A and B are shown apart, each in its own frame.
Chain A
Amino acid sequence: MQRFLILFGALAFMLVACSDDDNTPQEDIDSFNRTAMLENWADNIIIPGYDVLNNAINDLNNATDQFVAMPDATNLANLRAAWRESYRTFQKVSMFEIGKAEAVFFRARFNTYPTDTATLEAAVLDGNYNLELPSNRDIQGFPALDYLLNGLGENDADILEHYTFNPNATKYLSYLRELVVELQTLSEEVHNDWTNGYRDTFVSNDGSSASASVDKLTNDYVFYYEKALRAGKIGIPAGVFSNQPLPQNVESYYNPEFSRELALIALQSTQDFFNGKSFGNNQTGPSFKSYLNYLNTIKNGEDLSQLINDQFDVAQNKLEALNASLVQQIQQDNTKMYEAFDELQRNVILMKVDMLQAMDVNVDYVDTDGD
């Protein structure tokens, strides 16, 4: 046993000696201004994004009021337009699952799909449901609104019938109302948290530990890109993770012509964030890109930020080549979905492995063990 320990010690010593030889400690020379990057993220991207989302959801709320007051074709068209606009805006902020958004499970509450229509219908009729329950995430949010606005019938007349002559019309109207109110509440909660103090907490937590803002948001960003965008929008419906394609898992399934657009907005938003581009204009500030460029000047490595931006462009082209309806794309030529997935996947590797390594950020999530 003693000999065993000695051997172990000797090995450990050799190991330590080796790593000493190989490495110049990079912490000492990484003096990138993380605070400035956090300020750019908070003030020019995240908070303006939640501003716009809040306004879009207010519009959605008003359109819902009008529809509930008078459920006719015009008001349905207006409500759908408001739903689409707020759904688009949501794609631009969904990657920021930190702070209050993390605490309230913002993305899961807004965008769990596919909707469980049987449970939703039961909740409508019963009128007694708790939208805060984790088991009820798939009967709320934008996907549930998609079902209520686009999926209740074969055509607009059928859909409007549910809100007018149907014996349960008031129940459908009331459920629709509830879902929108819930989105408004959550959106305001997150927005207000950022503007009432969290912004400073976020910016001042400018260290480089696992709980520091840069490390956390970087993880949230890569997690979003890998799981919600690459897998959720493309990989899962294409059947990459299952035996068969799952077209019913396409985002905006009941209005499938909208699905590619949502994916494209999400992808463009992740690229914009990578480049530190301000929300709503073309100004740029400190970002992953400038951080990597900074590290590049001191490490003389390859131009990682250019590689990542090039790969974003390739993936963008692949997505643009898809049918506007990803449901149709899957049914007609699913290979193209796979090709798009592959190009999205390449940036998972460049960001999750190479970028995080360069920035010395540890991945804080693992795939669950499936039990």
Chain B
Amino acid sequence: MKYAFLSILFAFTFFVSCSDDDSGEIIEDPIEAPMNYTFERNGVSTVSFGGQTTRILMASEIVGAFNDFDVATETSVLDMFAHSEGSDDFENTDLNASSKNVRSKTAASFDYFNSNTSESAAIKNTFDTYVSTHFSEVVPNRNTLAEAGVAGQIAQGSSVRYVTAEGLEMNQVFAKGLIGALMTDQMLNNYLSPAVLDETDNRENNDAGITEEGKTYTTMEHKWDEAYGYLFGAAANPENPLIALGEADGFLNKYLDRVDSDDDFNGIASEIFEAFKLGRAAIVAGNYELRDVQAMIIKQKISEVIAIRAVHYLQSGKTALQNSDMGAAFHSLSEGYGFVYSLRFTRNNADDMPFFSASEVENFLTSMMNDGDNGLWDVTPATLDTISNEIAAKFDFTVEMAAN
């Protein structure tokens, strides 16, 4: 609540300085965001993000397949990840018919990877490796009790977790890493990027209301909606997605809800939703400055969600370690590992770079896994605190706020 209040103050300050800049101009009808994410042209909806919904559903099935021991193999899961149209990879036959896949959009944003294909390829390979490690190291040991240096199963309360010899749960690493490499990267660094929104003659077409061939939307409208789809595309009511927030998927939607449910950050979900609506309304009105201001709000807030969850899991892992509850510790730290990995895909409006570079993220992960010979079996509370503090230092939240 405190957080929300300060954000409003901050936004207000910003608003005042904006209108100062504009003074002298005649202000026409102010652009207002609609109640819901509903936009129409001639009475027909112009909102479309089917491709994003499809990829979220694919990602859910992929993550679910990791521990489907009777059915899944390394090959079958890699095939799901790099699905090709018509292949019988998924249980959901609609997904099989789709020409889309998850892998090609992993670390594939225009801003970060268009001229950085070597890193893009390396990141895609990293996700392949998560799958391979799971099936070559963990699955054969699934009926072995995990211990330091030995992959196998470990209890967390009444749940059974399957970890590598270093204590990592690869399905968690994959899922939480994908929140950065797919959802966040596509949203912040691709579809909300002026370079993508304003590509070629998008502005002219949008100003003139020229829609894509056979579609109801302009290209720019559609790009914005695709960003929206990576957050809300699997919601039961995508036009009003804050109802039942967190139930749409196990990715960004879920963790926005988790952060929003923390009193320290309550309100962040509606700030993001409002920015999406106002930015979309600004596109309809042809006000690209307002559009980009909203995009910047989303970039900052989504980056915060990633950072808050990274710190949250490192801290809950630390607490579990101190209680000698290794199962709970590994589960939290595996989620934390994935969220730390995702930091490389965040977006700092100050320099249009990630809040943490690839090498900084690599250093965090290396330090997590290298306090001893056996990865998370040996990680110390001090290491987890150091990483948590370094992450929180770049944002307006404290480690304590994220931890609870």
**Residue on B with the closest CB to A216?**
B323
Contact digits for A133-147, partner B, Cβ 8 Å, 1 yes 0 no:
111010000000000
How far does the alpha carbon of A8 sit from the alpha carbon of B9 in the complex, in Å?
11
What residues of B have a CB within 8 angstroms of the CB of A11 in the complex? 2, 6
What residues of A have a CB within 8 angstroms of the CB of B250 in the complex? 371
What residues of A have a CB within 8 angstroms of the CB of B156 in the complex? 368
How far does the alpha carbon of A132 sit from the alpha carbon of B323 in the complex, in Å?
21
Task: Tell me if B349 is interfacial: C-beta within 8 Å of chain A.
Answer: no
How far does the alpha carbon of A108 sit from the alpha carbon of B172 in the complex, in Å?
24
Counting contact residues on chain A (CB < 8 A from B), the size range is 20 to 34
Instruction: Indicate which residue in B2, B10, B154, B258 contacts A134 across the interface (CB closer than 8 Å).
Output: B154
User: Quick check: A134 and B153 within 8 Å, CB to CB?
Assistant: yes
Contact digits for A23-40, partner B, Cβ 8 Å, 1 yes 0 no:
000000000000000000
How far does the alpha carbon of A108 sit from the alpha carbon of B159 in the complex, in Å?
11
Given the known inter-chain contacts A133-B143, A135-B160, please indicate yes or no for A8 contacting B322, CB distance below 8 A: no
How far does the alpha carbon of A196 sit from the alpha carbon of B255 in the complex, in Å?
46
What residues of B have a CB within 8 angstroms of the CB of A7 in the complex? 6, 9
Contact digits for B258-301, partner A, Cβ 8 Å, 1 yes 0 no:
10000000000000000000000000000000000000000000
User: Quick check: A132 and B145 within 8 Å, CB to CB?
Assistant: yes
Contact digits for B121-143, partner A, Cβ 8 Å, 1 yes 0 no:
00000000000000000000011
The residue in A3, A11, A108, A134 that gathers the most chain B C-beta atoms within 10 A of its C-beta is A134
The residue in A4, A108, A132, A364 that gathers the most chain B C-beta atoms within 10 A of its C-beta is A4
How far does the alpha carbon of A8 sit from the alpha carbon of B142 in the complex, in Å?
50
How near does chain A come to B65, taking the closest CB pair, in angstroms? 15
What residues of A have a CB within 8 angstroms of the CB of B172 in the complex? 371
Residues of B contacting A: mostly = mixed
User: Quick check: B13 and A135 within 8 Å, CB to CB?
Assistant: no
What residues of B have a CB within 8 angstroms of the CB of A103 in the complex? 324
How far does the alpha carbon of A217 sit from the alpha carbon of B193 in the complex, in Å?
54
Task: Tell me if B42 is interfacial: C-beta within 8 Å of chain A.
Answer: no
Task: Tell me if B155 is interfacial: C-beta within 8 Å of chain A.
Answer: yes
User: Quick check: B9 and A108 within 8 Å, CB to CB?
Assistant: no
Counting contact residues on chain B (CB < 8 A from A), the size range is 20 to 34
What residues of B have a CB within 8 angstroms of the CB of A4 in the complex? 6, 9-10, 13, 396
User: Quick check: B160 and A130 within 8 Å, CB to CB?
Assistant: no
Task: Tell me if B200 is interfacial: C-beta within 8 Å of chain A.
Answer: no
Task: Tell me if A252 is interfacial: C-beta within 8 Å of chain B.
Answer: no
Task: Tell me if A305 is interfacial: C-beta within 8 Å of chain B.
Answer: no
How far does the alpha carbon of A364 sit from the alpha carbon of B325 in the complex, in Å?
12
**Residue on A with the closest CB to B325?**
A102
User: Quick check: B155 and A108 within 8 Å, CB to CB?
Assistant: yes
**Residue on B with the closest CB to A128?**
B143
Task: Tell me if A105 is interfacial: C-beta within 8 Å of chain B.
Answer: yes
Task: Tell me if B115 is interfacial: C-beta within 8 Å of chain A.
Answer: no
Task: Please provide the chain A residues from 1 to 53 with a CB less than 8 Å away from any CB of chain B in the complex.
Answer: 3-4, 7-8, 11
Task: Tell me if A112 is interfacial: C-beta within 8 Å of chain B.
Answer: yes
Task: Tell me if A154 is interfacial: C-beta within 8 Å of chain B.
Answer: no
What residues of A have a CB within 8 angstroms of the CB of B258 in the complex? 369
Q: What are 29 inter-chain pairs, A to B, with CB distance below 8 A?
A: A4-B6, A4-B10, A4-B396, A7-B6, A8-B6, A11-B6, A103-B324, A105-B155, A108-B155, A108-B158, A112-B158, A133-B143, A133-B144, A133-B153, A134-B155, A134-B159, A134-B161, A134-B327, A135-B143, A135-B153, A135-B160, A137-B155, A211-B322, A364-B323, A368-B156, A368-B159, A369-B258, A371-B172, A371-B254
18 more CB-based (< 8 A) A-B contacts, given A134-B153, A211-B322:
A3-B13, A4-B9, A4-B10, A8-B6, A103-B324, A108-B155, A130-B143, A133-B144, A133-B145, A134-B155, A134-B160, A134-B161, A134-B327, A135-B142, A135-B160, A364-B323, A368-B159, A371-B172
Rank and list the top 3 A-B pairs by shortest CB-CB distance, nearest first.
A134-B155, A134-B160, A135-B160
